[in-house]
Structure 1
Amino acid sequence: MAEAPVLQGSTALWAQATAPREVRLRLVTAFDQSSGGHSVHTGSDSPAEASPSYRTSTQRSAPGPLTLTRRGRLLLVGLPIALGVAVLILLGAFLTSQAQAGESAPASTATVEVNLAAGETLWDLAVQYAPHRDPRAVVAEMVELNDLRSSVVRAGQSISVPSESSQG
């Protein structure tokens, strides 16, 4: 006859793990409206063993105090603070902006219409009509005023030239 294997040092654990467990079932009857409650039986008929502390799934327990998790507290406190900071930043940016309307319109540039002669350049016109200004700035202004693609012009072309009197 073969013997059952025994593990050394764990005989008690092996016996507990293989022992049959006792299962207790409780019999719950339907909700009794006449008595205002229900009765729970543990298998015996004596009323001393009945336990009125059990609830059915339709009964609710009394609500406890509201508790917030760490994430809930962070949201409850952090969100209003973040929104307040955003409003302050936007308000500060709005109040300190540099783009404000001027009180008067900019002065218009006085110009002279000139028909180019053969051999004349924009540089020659800049020196002739605005001698006290930098000719490079005047040539750039002429290109902009006349919507020219470059500083190359043809003889007989009509050009608007800024005059000296517009600068003050």
Structure 2
Amino acid sequence: MVAMVEAGASGRPGFTRGSGRPKPPPLRLTRRGRVVLAVALMLLLAGLVALLAPASRAADPATGAPATTVVRQGDTLWAIAERQLPGRDPIAVVAEIRRLNGLDDYTVYAGQQLVLPAWR
């Protein structure tokens, strides 16, 4: 059986007119290659986001001291989050307050001093 080979304008298979070089085969990725490429692109994107996103620091830019608040009678972390950082997502603020202060649960006590996120 004879295989048919498409000839370029020059009459020679695989060559294009005037180039003198063979035409490269089309790029084909295997499933593994597509996965590796997708993971590499996601890692690159995550790295760019990490570099460009402002770091949350618990410091007052004017004095360099951490921004703090004292828990009032009847306060909850939610109330503190809404009062100290209005306009921010209270769930994220509460999580950050807990992380900054090493709180294992949501219990706070009147008179307790809490470090606040520096998302002003």
Superposition TM-score, scaled by structure 1 size: 0.38
Q: Which has the higher contact order (CA 8 A, sep 6+)?
A: 2
Superposition TM-score, scaled by structure 2 size: 0.50
Structure showing greater radius of gyration is 1
